[in-house]
Structure 1
Amino acid sequence: MTNFDYDLFVIGAGSGGLAASKRAASYGAKVAIAEGDLVGGTCVIRGCVPKKLMVYASQFSKLYQNAVGYGWEKAEPNFDWNKLVEVVQKEVMRLNQIHINNLEKAGVELINGMATFVDPHTIEVGDRKITADKILIAVGGKPAKPDIEGIEHSITSNEMFHLSTFPKRFAVWGGGYIGVEFASIMNGLGAEVTEIIRRDYILHGFDQDIAQNIQEGMTKHGIQFKTQTTLEKIEKTDEGLNLIFAGEEHEPVTVDALLCATGRKPNLSGLNLENAGVEVLLGAIAVSPDSCTNQSHIYAVGDCTDRMNLTPVAIAEGRAFADTVFGHLPRHINHTGIPTAVFSQPEASTVGLTEEEARDKVGENLTIYRAKFRPMFYSLTDADEKVMIKLIVDKTTDRILGVHIVGKDAAEIVQGLAIAVNMGATKKDFDATIGIHPSTAEEVVTLR
């Protein structure tokens, strides 16, 4: 029998890699994990966590305004961008250290450096060659930039948390959730924001009511949309970045910073996957439902497989891998019925099928329940804010196929509803549930 240095070697200390390594170690496996950056992955370092902190920061400007309606004296707040950047990075470093400590407690060896394949069972990190019986690739994804003139003057979401000065004129290229969230953040912090999208509406792939209601809310907040266009060229001038649009419909716009949020791709460069014979399909590591590659001892989880690029999914995939391979409890993750949120302003969250997907699945045999109203929080303010709630129901079975909410606290509401949807709840089940009054969530069980 071949003697290996480790039972499991994990490449990448992000959400999936951390979850898998600790779970495998709990089954008695000898585990090492390699990371060439801070520990925590995209979510902790330059994604969900610092972004959500900035979302919170951006909401205070509206809270000051809304407080006046409740009897508070009008305030003239002053925002300090550099202070926000400093405290956000301090929290990132705190979480980085917590993850390092947790690896140590779990008995997982952390190896600092970028890992590359030498052969199917050998990895090289710096000048060290390491062998492993099983290998897990969990290297995540990275932003992708289109190849246009002047693209080097744009930034990606990676740099958003390190800008030395606050861009008073800010543009976002891209209508996905990353672009939408940062457009809302910068707008809330006081920037003049322009968002550039190829279609009429943001968030392609989400339910149309989600996209339309978020875009309507963002427009009310002062965000300017350049629709049905794309960038042709970026010119750096003394006045800022001059953005030239394709076609003649839109005049050029000058901004202080441009966020390129046109997509992400698996972060596979430098891994030398060919040395291990690992198959790559359409730029992502090809895996079976149990996260195994075409090499029976090499697995991959998270964004590098480009299945469903969400932190909780990567964590679940990592744990399922460890349970299957080291815990001898075979299981894999079902990638349907996963709830998700867009932390835009207004916020949105969703679980289940979009209306379009539902019609493709069951035809016109649907009942759509929809409500749009002003939430109670804004009743004493002059804010023009709305909540949209939508249920998609299969007429034949009465099952709830999809829940979509736009508005305050949408993510907190949908998280609980996701349990019901995935258990096969019906509209009758919702109708039989007593609502919490007064709340936005009660509308979900009172729709008629």
Structure 2
Amino acid sequence: MAFDYDLFVIGGGSGGVRAARVAAATGAKVALAEEYRMGGTCVIRGCVPKKLMVFASGYSEMFDDARAYGWDVTEGSFDWPKFRGHLHKELDRLEGIYRKLLDGSGVAIFDARAALKDPHTVVLNDGREVSAKHILVATGGRPVMPDISGAELGITSNDIFNLDDMPRSILIIGGGYIASEFAGILNGLGVKVTQFYRGAQILRGFDGEARGLIAEGMREKGVDLHLGTNIVEMRAATDADMSDAMGTPMEGGKPATVASGGSGSGIWVKASNGIERVFDQVMFATGRAANTDGMGLEQAGVEVGRRGEIVVDEYSQTKVPSVYAIGDVTNRVQLTPVAIREGMAFVETVFKGNPTPVDHDLIPSAVFTQPEFGTIGLSEEDAREVEPVEIYCSSFKPMNHAFAGRSDRVMMKLVVSKATRKVLGCHIVADHAGEMIQLAGIAVKMGATKEDFDRTVAVHPTVAEELVTMKEPVRTA
């Protein structure tokens, strides 16, 4: 049977674009459909704009630090419209680069929504049908709103980058990396931030000691973090609510209220701990779902999991031999570099005749909270469940913060196997922890032992030198 294309990619995010370009380089005839903007979550509404906001938010503390270091500086105010305009121009530029890369690779672009009709046919939302020998689904994920009354008044992380005005106050619901990152960002930009998380500690699944230090650091920087707390009710604030909110917040006998600023409207929230407050904005960061709705996957025979994710094997192949899926839509590891790796492995397998399973083991990652967190491998808690371990850990005030009179602390931690001496986990809480964990991740991925770390001469004076100077374990388990 003759097909219109050798490969049709649905989704123009980092993974889909990389797979399309690399497949086209093998001589394959490739097309890609994207219904919104090229670049996907990472470039348009995720990693890139978020990291730029992290940079912007950091300047508020830099003014104080500069004065401590002898600079005569006058602190200004943050101009959100100016920053937002520059941000959107940068995202437009990056989207243009993605399109140029696809055009230069000979990939046909369809600016349309695509769905499966059958294992070899894609239907576009303008009614056109296109056939392909292979179909790759790379549609990513989206934030989901909780099923509670009044949730429609809130926003998600997708909306933050497009706000007309920066709120004076915001409630962030959730304790994962997205919620915690935006709590730090908005706090640094001058917003009064309250964060509710129903669990006992933020950043579930990460190393417990690191989680505790990050939560402590967030509170010290001004985030009003409430653990074991959730929303009971939320609604548009009434005049009476707004009148109460103008008073002094009180705890105890009378529920606390926090004044809302800006337009004079707000959102009234009652928490499970009895607190009542009015906020300019409420942001939900309570989970994400795969973008598989209305795509005809099950009708085409593709298995979809209970959370809407596409079920694939180690080669990213679905139960339908001609259909593959990569990235967040598979709900394996939701990281942009992982989606790119999965796309590369797909091309190796399908178009280069070199079956390549995706390696999801020992993936370094960074959480851009404030303080920042870099991690690879097992947490102390998970490692204890696997085998006996030694824990090497150091927490201290770094030189730059100590000189400036700040209370910020950093943490360097190695989880080491007693039996093999391999470093099973490395966890860093510090400025630029993401940069450090990228390099430490190479050693951990290679199977470095604690003695390999010890043999490495320290770079002094740096924060990272602690990784190679911790000689005695602080505890064993």
| TM-score, normalised via structure 2 length | 0.92
Q: Which residue is equivalent to 1:275?
A: 299
| Aligned residue type for 2:304 | V
Q: Which residue is equivalent to 2:322?
A: 297
Q: Which residue is equivalent to 1:194?
A: 194
Q: Structure 1 unaligned segments of length 5 or more: list them.
A: none
Q: Which residue is equivalent to 2:204?
A: 204
The alpha carbon displacement at 1:250 in A equals 3.2
Aligned pairs, how many? 443
Other structure's SS at 1:162 match = coil
Once the two structures are superposed, the pairs formed by residues 11-410 of structure 1 within 5 Å of their partners are: 11-125=10-124, 126-238=126-238, 239=242, 240-246=266-272, 249-282=273-306, 283-362=308-387, 365-410=388-433
The alpha carbon displacement at 1:335 in A equals 0.9
Q: Which residue is equivalent to 1:9?
A: 8
Other structure's SS at 1:275 match = coil
The alpha carbon displacement at 1:127 in A equals 2.0
Q: Distance in 2 between matches of 1:380 and 1:446?
A: 22
Q: Which residue is equivalent to 2:256?
A: none
Q: Distance in 1 between matches of 2:385 and 2:269?
A: 39
Q: Structure 2 unaligned segments of length 5 or more: list them.
A: 243-265, 472-477
Other structure's SS at 2:51 match = helix
Cα contact 1:120–1:275 (8 A) shared by 2 = no
Q: Which residue is equivalent to 1:444?
A: 467
Q: Distance in 2 between matches of 1:424 and 1:227?
A: 37
Other structure's SS at 1:265 match = strand
Cα contact 1:226–1:250 (8 A) shared by 2 = no
Once the two structures are superposed, the pairs formed by residues 404-419 of structure 1 within 5 Å of their partners are: 404-419=427-442
Other structure's SS at 1:133 match = strand
Cα contact 1:285–1:293 (8 A) shared by 2 = yes
1:336-392, CA deviations, whole angstroms, 9 ceiling, x for partnerless residues? Answer: 100111101100010000111111111xx2110010011111132121111111100
| Aligned residue type for 1:14 | G
Cα contact 2:298–2:304 (8 A) shared by 1 = no
Q: Distance in 1 between matches of 2:295 and 2:389?
A: 47
Stretches of 4+ moved more than 4 A in 1?
none
The alpha carbon displacement at 1:274 in A equals 2.2
Q: Distance in 2 between matches of 1:129 and 1:74?
A: 62
Q: Distance in 2 between matches of 1:447 and 1:89?
A: 45
Q: Distance in 2 between matches of 1:319 and 1:175?
A: 32
Identity rate, percent: 47
Q: Which residue is equivalent to 1:422?
A: 445
Cα contact 2:78–2:189 (8 A) shared by 1 = yes
Other structure's SS at 1:284 match = coil
Cα contact 1:23–1:323 (8 A) shared by 2 = no
| TM-score, normalised via structure 1 length | 0.98
Please report the RMSD computed on the Cα atoms of aligned residues, expressed in angstroms: 0.9
